[in-house]
Amino acid sequence: MKTEFDRQEFFNLCWEKSIAWFCENYLLSYREFKNISTKYQIPLPPNGYWMKRKFGKEINKPDLPKTYHGPSKIHLVLRTKENSRKPKTAEKLQRIDSNSESYVLEVPKKLPKNPDPIIQEMLSDNPKKHPVVNNIWDYTKRYNYGRISVSASIKPYKRALCFLNTFIKVMKTRGHYFLFIYERAYIVIEGIEIAIRMRERSKRVYETEKSGYRTSKLVPIGLLTIITGEYFYKKEWQETPTRSLAEKLPLIITYLEKMAKQERIRKVENEKRLKEQAIKKKKEEARKKLQTEEIEKLRFIKQKSDLWHEANKIRDFLKACDENENLTEEMKKLVIFGYKKVDWLNPLISSKDELFDDLDPHKLLEEIKS
């Protein structure tokens, strides 16, 4: 099979063979094939072309553009068993972690003799229990021992243990650790807790009873799902018939570390924002307090000012009475009384008055006015 073509040969072959044929026989993907056709300005069959050809319908085939002035030869690599095999999980993670330590990520079919202590706890018939005080489950606490929740039938459960054993060892090697509380498990990356659990996938099967009533139930299908995060941050990684969770392990690790880093940055920024808001609130409260104190002072000055003006008005009246020669004896007594009280009323004098000692001059004036 040829591996070198000129533009005309490749153009003719593109209209004779499908893209799937190229990807099956040559070492290239759909996207790489499209990039080659774009680079060499080779028109490809439009949608519906192969169906029209199947039924012998008329097809308008375009000419090869003559405006192209680039390289004339196209080189492809034949696909073989050696170069088309899927890279192992460990190899894929090594490429992801090209700037750091590489890890052996092969998930074994059977558990090793000495699995991780977390897996040993999951296999134990007498696991350690987290304390419950007065029938109260305290989910604010964290412990360094516990189990990762796995809801699955026997065979998928065993595969889940093998997967988790590799996952746990790699994450611990990368400097992360695990915490537990009752039925919940968390992996801690850069101080960020990410919930983790596994379950077996299921499908809904419908049945019709004799009465004609239609019912349904969930039936396990033997494929696993790992669930990371909670609520808004929840994400599921599902196993498929053609791709196991072991193959997705590098992607899972990369995603968790990236998400934890982003969450850490968001948390630091949020703490900084809250601190700034607290400082701003404290300043505003101090300003409000000072404002209230000064308003009270101003109100006090206004009251004293009102008293002073009222005292002076009364004093002016009393002086006018003194100058009047036609005052009655009763009025003369009132003038003498008035001079005593006006000195008590005037805030600049505030003479003592035993009878009025428990009275507020400002309130007394307000009552007299009303």
Identify whether 203 is part of a domain: yes
How much is the pLDDT for 84?
67
The whole-angstrom separation of Cα 287 and Cα 310 is 34
Identify whether 277 is part of a domain: no
How much is the pLDDT for 100?
44
Identify whether 250 is part of a domain: no
9 and 71 share a domain?
yes
Q: If 0-12 CB within 10 Å is exposed, 13-18 middle and 19+ buried, where does residue 338 land? A: middle
How much is the pLDDT for 210?
81
How much is the pLDDT for 119?
93
301 and 364 share a domain?
yes
160 and 204 share a domain?
yes
Identify whether 323 is part of a domain: yes
CB 362 within 8 A of CB 307: yes
Identify whether 334 is part of a domain: yes
126 and 189 share a domain?
yes
Identify whether 65 is part of a domain: yes
Per-residue b or e along 195-212, where b marks 16 or more CB atoms closer than 10 Å to that residue's CB = bbbbbbbeeeeeeeeeee
- Domain coverage including residue 235: 108-243
DSSP letter (8 states) at residue 231? G
53 and 179 share a domain?
no
125 and 80 share a domain?
no
112 and 212 share a domain?
yes
The whole-angstrom separation of Cα 160 and Cα 246 is 10
pLDDT in tens, the chain (370 residues): 888 999 999 999 999 998 888 888 888 888 889 999 999 999 999 888 888 888 888 888 899 988 888 888 999 888 887 776 555 554 455 555 544 444 556 788 889 889 999 999 999 988 888 988 888 888 889 999 999 999 999 999 999 999 999 999 999 988 999 999 999 999 999 899 999 999 999 989 888 888 888 888 888 999 999 999 988 889 999 998 888 888 888 889 999 999 999 999 999 999 999 999 999 999 999 999 999 999 999 999 999 999 999 999 999 999 999 888 888 889 989 999 998 888 888 888 888 888 888 888 888 888 887 7
Identify whether 311 is part of a domain: yes
The whole-angstrom separation of Cα 356 and Cα 334 is 17
The whole-angstrom separation of Cα 168 and Cα 114 is 13
Which among 196, 197, 190, 195 is positioned nearest to 262, based on CA atoms?
A: 190
Which among 301, 299, 297, 156 is positioned nearest to 239, based on CA atoms?
A: 156
The whole-angstrom separation of Cα 264 and Cα 130 is 28
Single-letter residue type at 153: S
Q: Number of structural domains, the chain?
A: 3
How much is the pLDDT for 14?
92
79 and 134 share a domain?
no
Domain end, chosen from 243, 275, 300, is at 243
Domain end, chosen from 84, 117, 147, is at 84
**pTM of this prediction?**
0.58
Domain end, chosen from 30, 49, 84, is at 84
